[in-house]
Amino acid sequence: MTGGFKITAPGVHTTVQDFGRVGYQDLGVPVSGALDPESLRLANVLVGNVRTMAGLEALFQGPTIEITVDSLRIALGGFGASIDVLGPEPARIAPWRSAVLKRGQIFRISLDGTASSCYLAIAGGFDLEPCLGSLSTYTRAGLGGFHGRALIVGDELPLVLSSASDGEDVRLPQPEAFSLQRPIRITWGMQRDYFTADSLARFVTEPFSLLQESDRMG
Q: Is residue 209 part of a domain?
A: no
Domain count for the chain, please give it.
1
Q: Is residue 27 part of a domain?
A: yes
Phi/psi for 201 (5° steps) reads -65, -40
**Residue 142 structural domain:** 4-165
Position 110, amino acid: S
The predicted model gives 169-188 an average pLDDT of 77
Please tell me whether residue 151 adopts helix, strand or coil conformation.
coil
Condensed to tens digits (0 to 9), the pLDDT of residues 117-173 reads 999 999 999 999 999 999 999 999 999 999 999 999 999 999 999 999 888 888 888
Q: Is residue 201 part of a domain?
A: no
Q: Is residue 159 part of a domain?
A: yes
CB 94 within 8 Å of CB 170? no
Spatial CB neighbours of 109, under 8 Å, sequence gap ≥ 6: 11, 58, 62, 63, 64, 65, 76, 81, 82, 83, 118, 120
Condensed to tens digits (0 to 9), the pLDDT of residues 51-74 reads 999 999 999 999 999 999 999 999
Q: Is residue 185 part of a domain?
A: no
